[in-house]
Amino acid sequence: MATRITITDSGQTQTLNGPLAPDTPDDALQRISEVYFAKKVTTDNGTRVSFTKIDSAHMQQDDQNQNIPYDSILGKTVYLIIETSNMQTLSIDAVIRPSANTMTENTDTLQLMRFVSPDRYEVQRLFTVQVGNFDALNNREGSHTHYTNLDADHINKAIIKLQLRPDGRAVFDGWTGRLADGSINLEVAVERSDNSPCAYGDGAQEVNGAGVFLDTDARGRFRVVNKNIYTIHHGSNTYNTLVEISTNPSRRRRIQKVVNANSTEVIFFYYDQNDNEHRICSRTKESVTRKRRVNTIPPLTQRGALSQTIDYTANRAAGENIDAHQLLVYANGTLGDGATDKWYANQPGNVDLVDMDILANAGVGAQIFEAFNYNQNGVIIRYGFQHTRRRSIQPDLFAGFLGSLAQFRQEGHTHYIVSQGFSYSDASCYPSAEHVNGEAGDLNLLTTQQNGVNTILTAANFDYDSEVILRNILFDFGFGSGRSEDFSNTSNASTADDASTRLPHTTHTATPRHNNHLHVHGFTPISDIYV
């Protein structure tokens, strides 16, 4: 007689040695057939919903179509799906526990954050859910009626939406510190809430006690790791429950992050207008000393040891319009050697930077260097660099940049977005003062050719209307300030710039000239999920 477990009222599990319940006819078995973690997938313009399993038996892939060696991340939002038969309207208890003690120092069931409609999460250990209840699919208005296939396809499912994290930062940091570079398998135990027997998996009879899922390699493991997470929402995503920052017009924060002090890898997730999840990319963040451009260049004896010399002679000879001839990186700062030397002094504290040049195409020259081209499941994010090696950015800003480009493209604009640079990897930004620490960036102006080639505000091919749309989207994703110039243009297709105007959310800056690019800065810091 097999030993079984049961789920207690407190959400823990304990051994149950009672006898098996008697057999019942196969076609009448009340059964929990499958339990799995999943991500939500919508089709038909967001009117049909399904679930894709995420476990070791159903490998996910990254933006380069490479298998990902884990299934989820501490802090990430996932769905827990319980598939049943002959159990409509019955309630099920579920608990989640680690398979080993490496994360929590025990294998007790976990307290995790469960979604409570319409817009909040609360900590629970015992997850009680009714078969055929779809509140876990509610948007922030508390509705799921936009999904037309719920009764047809999901009436026999119990659905839980949760975040893989505890309710406090201190506990989270303890978990991540112990987990470090490893992974933890999470198992799920389920049982009827009324403690009546049911069948599990493909079992031939109903039994007392709980069934355990995701506990063998053959059935699939749910492997969870440490990473930093950015969650980016399309502006029309009604599942974005972040704080509303203005009401007329309604504007809401679009990005949230989960800071993980025990990982340097950052994963950027984008949720489109229909709340489909897209794993955009992964970057490694580097912590570097903050910089500030100062007026006085210290004498050589006060610069500290020279650690690196970066020479751009070959780039400039090949036609790259790079202002710096070379960068001399000293212990106390960086000297930008160009037409006028400038000193970027080290400042207290560090800043995290990521490399935007994901494709890292080799070569030098005046051509546009494609840096990223994500094109999957209806989301396209494509950008490049020209005349710059300043390709580092803060992760917060990168999340805002990715979200802006994704939404701009999803709204029907096919322009190739090309940057004239953010900051160098050491946080300096010769010759600029404002680009330090990955805090600002320059973008080529958009043209009617949409090919990324630059133009000026007064040119006949300047696409003013699209530029305004892009600038407004960048603003909505956090780039609060910008620089451009007052201008008028009667030679291009738009009539909105016939009279003197300026791009929205910018200030007039003619020294140095800003007539051939859009400068964005003043990014609103992204809140951590525990703030």
Per-residue pLDDT tens digits for 470-488 = 999 999 999 999 999 999 9
Task: With beta carbons less than 8 A apart as the criterion, state whether 525 and 229 touch.
Answer: no
- Decide if 18 is inside a domain: yes
Task: With beta carbons less than 8 A apart as the criterion, state whether 352 and 449 touch.
Answer: no
- Decide if 530 is inside a domain: no
The predicted structure's pLDDT at residue 22 = 47
Q: How many structural domains does the chain have?
A: 3
The predicted structure's pLDDT at residue 21 = 47
Domain boundary among 267, 282, 297: 282
Task: With beta carbons less than 8 A apart as the criterion, state whether 39 and 51 touch.
Answer: yes
Phi, psi of 180, deg, nearest 5? 50, -125
Q: How many CA atoms does the CB half-sphere of 242 hold within 13 Å?
A: 24
CA gap 122, 112 in Å, rounded: 8
CA gap 410, 375 in Å, rounded: 11
Residue 361 token pair: 């195409």
Which parts of the chain register pLDDT below 70?
A: 1-4, 16-27
Question: Amino acid letter at 150?
Answer: L
With H, G, I as helix, E, B as strand and everything else as coil, classify residue 283. Answer: strand
- Decide if 531 is inside a domain: no
Kindly state whether residues 290 and 427 are assigned to the same domain: yes
Domain boundary among 282, 301, 324: 282
CA gap 8, 201 in Å, rounded: 21
Q: Which of 507, 505, 508 is nearest to 477 (CA)?
A: 505
The C-alpha angle 496, 497, 501, rounded to 5 degrees, equals 115
Question: Amino acid letter at 443?
Answer: L
Question: Amino acid letter at 511?
Answer: T
Residue 61 token pair: 């892939």
- Decide if 291 is inside a domain: yes
End-to-end CA distance of the chain: 51
- Decide if 75 is inside a domain: yes
Kindly state whether residues 415 and 490 are assigned to the same domain: yes
CA gap 174, 182 in Å, rounded: 14
CA gap 234, 249 in Å, rounded: 16
The predicted structure's pLDDT at residue 8 = 85
H or E, element range at 471:
helix 464-476
CA gap 162, 140 in Å, rounded: 15
- Decide if 30 is inside a domain: yes
Q: Which of 436, 268, 475 is nearest to 353 (CA)?
A: 436
What single DSSP character describes residue 58? B
Question: Amino acid letter at 480?
Answer: G
Task: With beta carbons less than 8 A apart as the criterion, state whether 223 and 183 touch.
Answer: yes
Kindly state whether residues 53 and 201 are assigned to the same domain: yes
H-assigned helices in 324-451: 395-410
Task: With beta carbons less than 8 A apart as the criterion, state whether 262 and 177 touch.
Answer: yes
The predicted structure's pLDDT at residue 27 = 67
Residue 277 belongs to what domain range?
Answer: 229-282
Kindly state whether residues 377 and 399 are assigned to the same domain: yes
CA gap 432, 423 in Å, rounded: 9
Kindly state whether residues 190 and 263 are assigned to the same domain: no
Q: Which of 475, 65, 403 is nearest to 249 (CA)?
A: 475
CA gap 25, 23 in Å, rounded: 7
Kindly state whether residues 76 and 89 are assigned to the same domain: yes
With H, G, I as helix, E, B as strand and everything else as coil, classify residue 470. Answer: helix
Kindly state whether residues 236 and 217 are assigned to the same domain: no
What single DSSP character describes residue 27? G
Which residues, 6+ apart, have CB-to-CB distance to 409 below 8 Å? 379, 380, 381, 382
Kindly state whether residues 413 and 468 are assigned to the same domain: yes
Q: Cα dist. 143→135, 236, 239, 366 in Å?
A: 8, 15, 10, 52
CA gap 404, 461 in Å, rounded: 23
The predicted structure's pLDDT at residue 13 = 82
What single DSSP character describes residue 226? -
CB burial of 187-222 (b: ≥16 within 10 Å; e: otherwise) equals: bbbbbbeeeebbbbeeeeebbbbbbbbbbeeebbbb
Kindly state whether residues 252 and 145 are assigned to the same domain: no
The predicted structure's pLDDT at residue 17 = 56
Kindly state whether residues 463 and 438 are assigned to the same domain: yes
Domain boundary among 224, 243, 263: 224
Kindly state whether residues 340 and 373 are assigned to the same domain: yes
Q: Cα dist. 527→72, 192, 259 in Å?
A: 21, 39, 9
Residue 113 token pair: 């954050």
Q: Which of 112, 73, 89 is nearest to 226 (CA)?
A: 73
Kindly state whether residues 115 and 242 are assigned to the same domain: no
